[in-house]
Amino acid sequence: MQKKELICNSCGKRIVSESGIIRENVCEVTQEWGYFSSKDGEVHSFTLCESCYDEIIKKFKLPVTIREKTEWMTESYHVSSLTMETDGAWEE
Ligand SMILES: [Zn+2]
């Protein structure tokens, strides 16, 4: 496994990961600027640590859209959750 290291673009904090798993939540943004922007064809990306992300969204006039994530780790838990509702217990 390669060690991946992210650096917060805002404060310069290093966000280290072990075995490719990042232990802290980070905000990774990639923006592909399109034809009608002045940055036509450029792909911009940056990383923010959680505290810088909080600082930045505080400056927004409108709050970010927040919704509850209902399917955690779908890839690893997909199979086991599928097998749970097969015995017809709800039918009387
Ligand atoms: Zn930061």
**Looking at residues 49-60, what average pLDDT do you find?**
94
Question: Taking the CB of residue 47, how many other CB atoms lie within 10 A of it?
Answer: 19
Q: Residue 52 domain-assigned?
A: yes
Q: How far is the CA of 88 from the centre of ligand 1 (A)?
A: 50
Tell me the β-bridge partners of 28.
Answer: 47
* 57-91 per-position pLDDT tens digit: 999 999 999 998 776 665 554 444 444 444 555 55
Residues of the chain with pLDDT > 70: what percent? 64
Say how many domains are in the chain: 1
| Residue 84 is assigned to a structural domain of this protein | no
Q: Which domain holds residue 36?
A: 5-77
Both tokens assigned to 30: 């990639």
Tell me which amino acid residue 59 is.
K
Question: Which residues lie below 8 Å from residue 26, measured CB to CB, with a gap of 6+?
Answer: 6, 8, 15, 47, 48, 49, 50
Q: Give distance in angstroms: CA of 52 to centre of ligand 1.
A: 4
pTM of the prediction?
Answer: 0.61
Asked if residue 85 belongs to a domain, the reply is no
If you measure from the C-alpha of residue 77 to the centroid of ligand 1, how many angstroms do you get, rounded to a whole number?
32
Ligand 1 centre distance from Cα of residue 31 (Å): 19
Q: Which residue has the higher pLDDT, 25 or 16?
A: 25
Among residues 13, 33, 39, the alpha carbon closest in space to that of 24 is found at 13
What would the mean pLDDT of 16-33 be, rounded to a whole number?
78
